[in-house]
Structure 1
Amino acid sequence: MSRPLPSLSGRLVAAALLWMLALLLIGGAVLAWAFRDSVEREFGQRLDAMLRAIIAGTEVMPDGALVVNRPLGDPRFDQIYSGWYWQVSSPGGRLLRSRSLWDQTLTTMPGGDEVFFHQHQGPKGENLLVAERDFLLPDGDGRVHVLIAADLAEVAAGARRFNLLLASALGLLGLGMAVAVLIQVRYGLGPLRRMMADLDAVGQGERPRLSGAYPREVAPLAAAMNAVLDKDAELIERARTHVGNLAHGLKTPLAVIGAEMAASPDAGVIKTQLDAMRRLIEHHLGRAAAVAGAGRNPGERVAVAPVASDIAAALAKIFAERGLDVRVTVPDAACFHGHAEDLAEMLGNLMENACKWARSRVRVSAEGIGDGVVIVVEDDGPGLSPQQAASAAGRGKRLDEMTEGWGLGLSIVADLVAVNGGTLNFGTSDLGGLAVRLHLP
């Protein structure tokens, strides 16, 4: 036994939640990266401003010594190992540095006229963002290298705070969206649940078919189900009719047999009644088999020509002593959408009856039309009068009651044509006999 598949609502919710989670994770990662990049850029701009302030405050004393005579105004440059440092190197190798560096020296990179940013490890192992460049003093005799550095922990702390806030906001957003998805799926699948309830009511016999109003996307499914239910109801009604007819038909033979058994039994009378009962049973069993065929699913497209040719070959052998000319002129493109057994049953009965009544010729032709196929079976027998043809085309007329010798076969054909949605018409053939026109959509 195969395992049941997950529910439709579960599949929809799971797919929506997975997609939403992926979008939130990607969006959160992009926002976090953009925020950190923005903070680092702003941090670098602050260092660049401080670097320019140091350059503006650097002077050459009369004795040629360099001094920085303007404080930067940030007390962290005076706190030892605070993470904020500056350093100025004179052309002669003399080194000026902030009090926060104490006795440490930061490694400098080859300078230029433009500010160069890079990361470097500080005196306490902290991760520093360093900005440095060279410049020329008006009264100096060489290039001065200036450097300023700051601990990136401030940037990291700001990024952590933002990430925590971002994660909280995205988490609340995801929770709200998940609730919205659950509500949407439950609301969207409401018509299907209503259809299930209607089907349960049909199964319990509370109603014969689905009668609710459904959305445009579900309405075709409801219509298809109603078509199946209507078809089943038709089959059941046909079966009830056959059973009723059979029961009614058996009453008289049984009454006659009972009367004979009560008196002096007459074997001839009993045999006649038994034959009548057997014919009734065969008749209704045959019609029931035709009705049962309607309960099957539609088959593939069946070519008419091979089926008709096989039947013609068999009938030529059966009626060989009469020398009948059974001719099949059916194009290869003519097809019947259904079961090959149904087509063989209909053609076999029609062609057999044509052979029974024909004098010498039977002709089977077909043509494909827009919505199906038309098959014509003709013979050169006595045919039908216009009144008989009109009566045969009348709804509800049993073909085997029209003319003696027609038998059960044509009655079965009528049932098979009806359950396959086709029509059966009778007319006069140019061969002089009967022409049966079978239209199967």
Structure 2
Amino acid sequence: MTAADPPRRATSLVVRLILAAAAWLLLLLAVGGIVLALAFRGAVEEEFSYRLDAILKTIVASIEVVPGGGFAMSRPLGDPRFDRLYSGWYWQVTQPDGRQLRSRSLWDSSIPVEPGGPDMQVRRAEGPNQEKLLVVERDVEFPGQQGAAHVLVASDLREVSGGVQRFELLLMLALGTLAFGMIVAIVIQVRYGLRPLRQMLADLRSVREGAAARLSGRYPSEIAPLADGMNDVLDKDSELIERARTHVGNLAHALKTPLAVVSAEVQGNADRTVLTKQVQLMRRLIEHHLGRARASAGTGRLGLKTPVRSVAEAVRAVLAKIYQERGLEVDVDIPPGAMFRGHREDLEEIFGNLMENACKWAIRRVRVSAQQAQDNLLIRVEDDGPGISAERQAELLRRGRRLDEKSPGWGLGLAIVSDLVHLNGGELAFSKSELGGLCVDVALPSR
């Protein structure tokens, strides 16, 4: 995949939600249907086994012991199914000596006997016609007989399978109808639930086409934070664009006068000194506005943290080489845990300009300190230079707050520092230092 290839789209969110919900629903209905079918079959077979046991008790009541120790039926059962050959209904009595008394439906066949007891036993067996039988049996002791006789009654399981199969078919139809209805409900629910996302997409198209400046729709609480985040990004982009326009306008306005002077000089007898002065002025104006534009573009990004002490130490090391001949003492008093919420370059620009300015005006000493308050990072840069009056301090603060074109005054550095501080949501203040010179306080949000 090359950079020119469009990004591959994942499966639709609607399809994912519907497939996941439908799969889980079908699994639950299948498991529930199987459990219900097995429970119904077990209940039917249990009830059928009790019916067979009732017939077994009737057979026991009809058996009498004949002279010689044999068994005989004293009266017929009255159920023709036991008289029809291989009808699927059988009874069998096995005497203690192994002789058997059987129903006519068994003819000359027999059902294998398994050891049992006086309680009812239920099992499955194969009949004389290879049919599947449900067998109910128990051992019964008769008066005058030594040992217990084994009596069983068996019936073809098809007697109950037909009803069970009809129930299973009805259950499948009911569960299938329920599944279809619930899947339709899931589709409606998912599409209705995701309607705000489609509305957000339509609003984004309006923003892209210029019909709106931001997302203005009413969104549910789950996606409202997403809309607010998008609006923050749109507002930030709009702010950056407006700043860029302002910088371009200011630069164009500031260059008009120098360009007019250069044009006039070129048309007449050009004065090299005048031209050099105007070129230097234009270069300074360009650097001024480029510095402010860079400061505006580099702020406002989330998730960044910069250690304050390492930046201040790095700036001190550079300034120590620059002002080595003057023997300035630059003290840095910053706790290791102090963090700036923003780009390292922004903090380097702030420290670099403030500390360079302090070194420029200091006599012997510059002090740099910082502390992490609850909601703010407080930075202070002081020097023991001549300082400035309160009126001049107010003028510096006023100029620092303005973004339109002004003569640099205290220089380009403080203008850029002022822009960086305010673009990062902080405040800049000037006062008289305890060392005797200027004290510059910077408060930057730490959250």
TM-score by length of 1: 0.93
- Residue 317 (structure 1) aligned with residue 321 (structure 2): yes
Q: Is the 2:250–2:405 Cα contact (8 Å) retained in structure 1?
A: no
Identify the match of residue 346 of structure 1 among 333, 337, 350.
350
Q: Is the 2:94–2:151 Cα contact (8 Å) retained in structure 1?
A: yes
What fraction of aligned residue pairs are identical, expressed as a percent? 57
Q: Find the aligned partners of 1:270 and 1:131 in 2 and give their Cα distance.
A: 122
Q: Which residue of 2 aligns with 1:184?
A: 189
Structure 1 residue identity aligned to 2:311: V
Q: Which residue of 2 aligns with 1:145?
A: 150
Superposed, which structure 2 residues align to 1:282-293 within 5 Å? Answer: 282-293=287-298
Which stretches in structure 1 are left out of the alignment for 5+ residues?
none
Q: Is the 1:374–1:437 Cα contact (8 Å) retained in structure 2?
A: yes
Shift of the 241–102 alpha-carbon distance from structure 1 to 2, 3 Å rule, reads same
Runs of 4+ off more than 4 Å:
61-65, 91-94, 139-142, 398-403
- Residue 260 (structure 1) aligned with residue 265 (structure 2): yes
Query: What SS class does the counterpart of residue 22 from structure 1 fall into?
Result: helix
Q: Which residue of 1 aligns with 2:360?
A: 356
RMSD over aligned CA atoms reads: 2.2
Q: Find the aligned partners of 1:292 and 1:68 in 2 and give their Cα distance.
A: 109
Q: Is the 1:302–1:337 Cα contact (8 Å) retained in structure 2?
A: yes
Q: Find the aligned partners of 1:71 and 1:373 in 2 and give their Cα distance.
A: 107
Which stretches in structure 2 are left out of the alignment for 5+ residues?
2-6
Shift of the 313–94 alpha-carbon distance from structure 1 to 2, 3 Å rule, reads closer
Superposed, which structure 2 residues align to 1:345-424 within 5 Å? Answer: 345-394=349-398, 396-397=401-402, 401=406, 404=409, 406-424=410-428
Superposed, which structure 2 residues align to 1:74-93 within 5 Å? Answer: 74-91=79-96, 93=98
Q: Find the aligned partners of 2:438 and 2:159 in 1 and give their Cα distance.
A: 104
Q: CA deviation at 1:240?
A: 0.5
Q: Find the aligned partners of 1:203 and 1:73 in 2 and give their Cα distance.
A: 91
Shift of the 82–291 alpha-carbon distance from structure 1 to 2, 3 Å rule, reads same
Q: CA deviation at 1:142?
A: 5.2
Q: Is the 1:400–1:411 Cα contact (8 Å) retained in structure 2?
A: no
TM-score by length of 2: 0.92
Q: Which residue of 2 aligns with 1:4?
A: 9
Q: Which residue of 2 aligns with 1:302?
A: 306
Q: CA deviation at 1:203?
A: 1.2
Shift of the 149–157 alpha-carbon distance from structure 1 to 2, 3 Å rule, reads same
Q: CA deviation at 1:91?
A: 4.3
Identify the match of residue 439 of structure 2 among 419, 435, 438.
435
- CA offsets 1:93-136 (integer angstroms, 9 cap, x no match): 54322121122122222343222222211101111111122223
Query: What SS class does the counterpart of residue 428 from structure 2 fall into?
Result: strand
Query: What SS class does the counterpart of residue 254 from structure 2 fall into?
Result: helix
Q: Is the 1:326–1:362 Cα contact (8 Å) retained in structure 2?
A: yes
Q: Which residue of 1 aligns with 2:51?
A: 46
Q: CA deviation at 1:228?
A: 1.3
Shift of the 48–251 alpha-carbon distance from structure 1 to 2, 3 Å rule, reads same
Shift of the 385–421 alpha-carbon distance from structure 1 to 2, 3 Å rule, reads same
Q: Find the aligned partners of 1:34 and 1:168 in 2 and give their Cα distance.
A: 18
Superposed, which structure 2 residues align to 1:209-224 within 5 Å? Answer: 209-224=214-229
Structure 2 residue identity aligned to 1:306: S
Q: CA deviation at 1:55?
A: 0.8
User: How many residues align structurally?
Assistant: 439
